[in-house]
Amino acid sequence: MTTQTDRMNVKGAVSAQVNAAFAEVKALYQQLHQMPELPFQEYKTSARLAESLEALGYTVTRNVGGTGVVALLRNGEGPTVMLRGDMDALPIKEATGLDYASNETATAADGNEVPLMHACGHDLHSSCIVGTAAVMVGLTAQWSGTLMLICQPAEEIFGGAKAMLADGLYERFPRPDIILGQHNMPARAGTIGHRANSTMAACTNLAVTIHGAGGHGSMPAQTVDPVVIAAHVVTRLQSIVSREVPPEETVVVTVGKLHAGTQANIIPHTAELEINIRSFDNTLHRQVVASIERIIRAECDAGRAPKPPAFQVLNETIALHNDPMAVEHVRSAHAEHFGDTNLFDMPRLNGSEDFPFLGNAEAGGFGGDDIPYVYWFIGATPAERWAETPGTSVSQKMRHLEMPHSPYYFPGNDITLRTGMEAMATAALAYLA
């Protein structure tokens, strides 16, 4: 039976190990922040993380699913607990003004040179993986089992989790009993948000090419104008949410890109669209994607398009549904360590993650039963800034704060970094101790 004294001893031991490792982890974080890399190009990042984990005594395998890293610490009999952190950055020019701000650039898939920034905090997440690794090494007398750490590439394009799974993540390494992950967000630093069941949205990014028959702008009757067809498509797609989706469901259909033509007096041969679809139900999500394709085909027929439209799924992921029993187990561990006043009920987010592929046997393609997972959120806004921000709830205050993917977003303050290490370690110990 676990006593209050036992729990206090674990809390004190975790905090002591975090204190001992913190200076090196902070230095690692600042180094990673200065060298962001695009999805599947995380060569320097993955090498640096692998070196850190090897130095701690972990058995490390590199280049899993491309640039992914898997580290194992076997410590006797017991369950296998997997902790996941992501590594990739974004094509954004940093404007934080930090002394260690990124000045890096890279060549994107289209051949253009782009600026790079860790604008989503993946450098924080991977630093917390290394920090947690150090904490758990220092506490091996207090737990038993296998700790499995993964540093995952390409989360931003929903590619890294499936790439690691396809490369034998659960065949080459132990199949975990529980998967744990976290993400920073603009809540008060030092707090943690939990949510059971439906937590983050499924997402599909769909590219569409509408074909026309171009010609002179003065003779539209001699052409098939794909711009007019595209304009009808953009308008008609909005009827899916208002007329095909039940009112109690949340679905977003956004046309984020519409490109056609070169100048005013030329009717182009094609129009190109990119459409973003988000929902919280995987079955409904597939229905919405099918409706989009149906409407686009119908509008192309109505507009006399010479050939059918072309569709390409750029990337997609499934909805994130946290296991409710596992959430309660992890939340209780976090409450013991941080106190209930530093926990909050996480609102459902329309943002998306490829993390759920790691637990969904069918979607992840690894067979067998699903693996339970918990994905929580750590606050990244300093207390003074949080206090002066309008609103009373997390959702209200978030409307006034920089969000991930902003050139001004910076989650890597000391409190958030420390919280991320402690949150992962205490959650892991909840299953291993």
What's the pLDDT band for 26 if we cut at 50, 70, 90?
very high
What's the pLDDT band for 382 if we cut at 50, 70, 90?
very high
> Which pLDDT score is estimated for 374?
98
Mention every residue, 6+ apart, whose C-beta is less than 8 A from residue 14. 135, 139, 337, 422, 425, 426, 429
CA triplet 15, 84, 100: central angle to 5 degrees? 70
- Is the predicted pLDDT of residue 21 greater than 70, yes or no? yes
Q: Tell me which amino acid residue 42 is.
A: E
Least confident segment among 200-209, 273-282, 386-395, 419-428: 386-395
Q: Between the CA of residue 241 and those of 185, 248, 252, 277, 416, what are the distances in Å?
A: 28, 11, 7, 11, 38
Our CA dihedral for 235, 238, 242, 247, rounded to 10 degrees, sits at -170
Question: What percent of the chain has pLDDT above 70?
Answer: 98
Mention every residue, 6+ apart, whose C-beta is less than 8 A from residue 317. 158, 202, 203, 352, 353, 354, 356, 357
Which tens digits make up the pLDDT trace of 109-157?
Answer: 889 999 999 999 999 999 999 999 999 999 999 999 999 999 999 999 9
What rounded mean pLDDT belongs to the chain?
Answer: 96
- Is the predicted pLDDT of residue 5 greater than 70, yes or no? no
Give all domains of the chain, ordered by start, each with its CATH number.
4-201+319-432 (3.40.630.10), 203-315 (3.30.70.360)
Tokens linked to 79 = 């369950």
Can you tell me the mean pLDDT for 173-195?
Answer: 98
Which tens digits make up the pLDDT trace of 33-80?
Answer: 999 999 999 999 999 999 999 999 999 999 999 999 999 999 999 999
Give start and end residues of each alpha helix (H) in 270-413: 282-302, 324-338, 361-364, 383-388, 394-398
- H-run or E-run covering 136: helix 122-138
> Which pLDDT score is estimated for 259?
98
- Please spell the DSSP secondary structure of 172-236, one letter per residue: HSPPPSEEEEEEEEEEETT-EEE--EEEE-EEEEEEEEEE-B-EETT-GGGSB-HHHHHHHHHHH
Rounded to whole angstroms, the Cα distance separating 87 from 36 reads: 8
* Residues 182-215: b if buried by 16+ CB within 10 A, e if exposed: bbbbbbbbbbbbbbbeebbbbbbbbebebbbbbb
Which tens digits make up the pLDDT trace of 103-113?
Answer: 999 999 889 99
> Which pLDDT score is estimated for 432?
97
> Which pLDDT score is estimated for 110?
87
- Is the predicted pLDDT of residue 1 greater than 80, yes or no? no
Judge whether 167 and 154 are in contact, CB under 8 Å: no
Judge whether 68 and 46 are in contact, CB under 8 Å: yes
Which tens digits make up the pLDDT trace of 239-264?
Answer: 999 999 999 999 999 999 999 999 99
Distance of CA 188 to the CA centre of its chain: 20
Can you tell me the mean pLDDT for 382-389?
Answer: 96
Burial class (CB in 10 A: 0-12, 13-18, 19+), 13: middle
- Is the predicted pLDDT of residue 3 greater than 80, yes or no? no
What's the pLDDT band for 8 if we cut at 50, 70, 90?
low
> Which pLDDT score is estimated for 16?
96
Burial class (CB in 10 A: 0-12, 13-18, 19+), 256: exposed
- Please spell the DSSP secondary structure of 345-356, one letter per residue: EPPPBS---SGG
Judge whether 431 and 330 are in contact, CB under 8 Å: no
> Which pLDDT score is estimated for 109?
87
Tokens linked to 369 = 């039963």
State in Å, rounded, how far the first CA of the chain is from the last one: 12
What's the pLDDT band for 6 if we cut at 50, 70, 90?
low
> Which pLDDT score is estimated for 11?
84
Tell me the three state secondary structure of residue 264: coil
Rounded to whole angstroms, the Cα distance separating 167 from 163 reads: 6
Tokens linked to 277 = 């679809």
What's the pLDDT band for 316 if we cut at 50, 70, 90?
very high
